[in-house]
Amino acid sequence: MAWWLRTGRVVRGFDPGELPGLTASHPLVDTPPDEVDEHAALEGRDPWFHNHLVVASRAVAAALGNTCRPGARVLDFGCGEGVTALGVARRTGAEVWGVDLTRAFDALPARAEQALGPGACPPSLAFGQAAAGEPLPAPDAVFDAGYAWSVFEHLDDVPGTLRELHRVLKPGAPFLLQIEPLYFSPYGSHLRRLIDEPWAHLKGGDAAYLARAQAAADHSRVVERDLLYQQNDFEEVRRYLLGEYRSLNRIRTVDLVRQVREGGWQIEDCALRQISARRLEPDLLRRHSAHDLRTREIRLLLKRPVTPR
């Protein structure tokens, strides 16, 4: 269950935690990923590819609204393999520019053609590589809108990234910041493919958890079989996943909201996806807040303020 948060009434059973000025007002409804994945599998498509192409791009386009239109310049920050960028470009006609630290997006044309047929990548889609800790290779105030889909939980410098995004977006431009799963949620370790046990990463020390992950067999679902699986054996996949776990910044929603506001952004909307409070375990509640344990996903619709003349 997910909810939009605005100034308004609190929905029973919802836990807004310590997010100041944000209260639940009405539900946010997405197409359940399992339905999309099943449909994709029945059509003989790549479920992981189809999930990112359809589900994520639909959410991005809906959040950015009419700023994401033909001719608009849209930034996909941390685009990875570029599948969501492809979905946004095909869905909206916008000029989408994806940027990432790696060049995983180089494999997109062949994979898109295999999944969707010839000409799958439109000419309005382009990619570039950035260097960690360096400015984005883009001029000031060039993008009409932007988004980051499951990226900010991996950043070393969240405030610095927010400043850089502020630089490259036009005044008044919207930016969708999404994180899922958040670290303190049931599978916030990002290692469910190795340890399919909720909150396992919070129940003991890092050393014990990593030892379990090192010895684990592959539990990945079909929907998680991304390019990493196609190009590497399982031991290499495991090494990569463990590296991702070690890199997580473990950011909490309250800290993210604070850093966004301190960075000069306006929060236009906020959405949280939470699990039932009935699933929470007493031992975990003694060490962590119920809000952090319940909150799987956050979506912040930000806006770069228009600078007064």
Same domain, 118 and 236: no
Is 210 domain-assigned? yes
Q: Are 81 and 149 in contact (CB under 8 A)?
A: no
What tokens appear for 92 in the block?
Answer: 């909206």
Which of residues 227, 247, 267 is at a domain's end? 247
Domain range for 119 is: 2-189+249-303
Is 205 domain-assigned? yes
Same domain, 75 and 222: no
* pLDDT at 309 exceeding the cut of 50: no
Same domain, 194 and 285: no
Residue 223's pLDDT band (cuts 50, 70, 90): low
What is the total count of domains within the chain? 2
User: Residue 148: helix, strand or coil by DSSP?
Assistant: strand
**For residue 218, what pLDDT is reported?**
77
Q: Higher model confidence: residue 24 or residue 252?
A: 252
**For residue 193, what pLDDT is reported?**
86
The full length of the chain comes to 309
Residue 221's pLDDT band (cuts 50, 70, 90): low
Is 66 domain-assigned? yes
Same domain, 207 and 74: no
Q: What is the DSSP string of 194-234?
A: T--STTGGGSS-HHHHHHHHHHPPP---GGG--HHHHHS-H
Same domain, 297 and 198: no
Q: Are 83 and 104 in contact (CB under 8 A)?
A: no
Same domain, 182 and 208: no
* pLDDT at 208 exceeding the cut of 70: yes
pLDDT in tens, 166-189: 999 999 999 999 999 999 999 999
Question: Where residue 7 sits, what CATH number does that domain have?
Answer: 3.40.50.150
Same domain, 67 and 144: yes
List the single range of 14-28, 234-248, 284-298 with lowest mean pLDDT: 14-28
Which of residues 215, 231, 247 is at a domain's end? 247
**For residue 234, what pLDDT is reported?**
83
Whether this prediction's pTM lies above 0.95 is answered by: no
* pLDDT at 14 exceeding the cut of 50: yes
Which of residues 214, 247, 280 is at a domain's end? 247
**Amino acid of residue 51:** N
Is 57 domain-assigned? yes
Q: Higher model confidence: residue 152 or residue 274?
A: 152
Same domain, 114 and 228: no
**For residue 153, what pLDDT is reported?**
97
Same domain, 130 and 143: yes
Same domain, 105 and 234: no
For residue 181, say if its preceding peptide bond is cis, omega within 30 degrees of 0: yes
Q: Which helix (H) or strand (E) holds 240?
A: helix 234-247
Residue 111's pLDDT band (cuts 50, 70, 90): confident
Same domain, 114 and 231: no
Q: What does the alpha-carbon distance between residue 153 and residue 132 come to, in Å, rounded to a whole number?
A: 15
**For residue 12, what pLDDT is reported?**
46
The share of the chain scoring above pLDDT 70, in percent, equals 81
Phi, psi of 91, deg, nearest 5: -75, -35
Q: Higher model confidence: residue 46 or residue 73?
A: 73
Beta strand 174-179 with 95-100 is unpaired
Is 308 domain-assigned? no
Is 309 domain-assigned? no
Same domain, 53 and 150: yes
Is 27 domain-assigned? yes
Q: Are 152 and 251 in contact (CB under 8 A)?
A: yes
Q: What is the DSSP string of 106-136?
A: GGHHHHHHHHH-TT-S-TTEEEEE--TTS--
CA-closest candidate to residue 184, choices 288, 298, 282:
288
Is 211 domain-assigned? yes
**For residue 3, what pLDDT is reported?**
40
The share of the chain scoring above pLDDT 90, in percent, equals 65
**Residue 272 carries which DSSP code?**
E
**For residue 96, what pLDDT is reported?**
98
Beta strand 145-149 with 125-129 is unpaired
* pLDDT at 209 exceeding the cut of 90: yes
pLDDT in tens, 268-303: 999 888 888 888 999 999 999 999 999 999 999 999
pLDDT in tens, 35-58: 444 444 434 456 778 888 998 999
